[in-house]
Amino acid sequence: MTATGTEGECDRSAPPPTPRRVRRAIAAVISVIGELLITAGLIMGLFVAYSLWWTNVLADRAAHRQSDEIRKHWASSKPDKKPEEFDSKDGIGFLHVPAMTSGEVLVKKGTSAGVLNAGVAGYYTKPVKSALPNDKKGNFSLAAHRDGHGAKFHNIDKLKDGDPVVFETKDTWYVYKVFATLPETSKYNVGVLDEIPEGSGKDRAGRYITLTTCTPVYTSTYRYIVWGELVRTEKVDADRTPPKELR
């Protein structure tokens, strides 16, 4: 009886899984994993949309407000004030680069994320101190984001030799012409900001402008550099008529 009972219990045990059951289980697991991957993809997509679109919207709004403030400040300032005395907290002027952007770019002091995230360009205070446009010699060196937070230098790769780069202050238009570009260099290459910019081909001090931003697009691995040289200045008239390069 014992032997028979044991044999009966063995007969009632579950049969081994069939290949069909195994396939169904695997399919169910794959389905769950697929749904999780789709959800993760949607979350990543929303994050990218926030980083590359919504931050642009917010930064542009902030930049417009700041631009309005500095123009009001100019309107109420004494005519003999120098550009750097306009209160660099609000901004010292506007960059106009037709080949890169259709609008103006407010320029402020500093290149920290706290400055650039507001949709502006900033002039370097470290590791190399930037000259200002009205200095008799020096390198007016600027940085801005290439993607997100206004992306003011997104199309920096469109700039070619001879293209105009114009900086507007309350009293003066500074007209530069691009003379060299460096499509890729180390983020630690501060020589590009020197008074005589390293790698620009220049061997003597002058009145230069340097634009810097991250490259490749959507990364911050390297830096893209554009150099220009001052070719002339124009006094701002009562109507703020832009120089011919901007018409």
DSSP string for residues in 10-76: HHHSPPPPPHHHHHHHHHHHHHHHHHHHHHHHHHHHHHHHIIIIIHHHHHHHHHHHHHHHHHHHHHH
In angstroms, rounded to a whole number, what is the distance separating the alpha carbons of residues 183 and 60? 26
Nearest to 173 by CA among 129, 120, 230, 228: 230
Annotated active-site positions, please?
A: 214
Nearest to 215 by CA among 166, 167, 143: 143
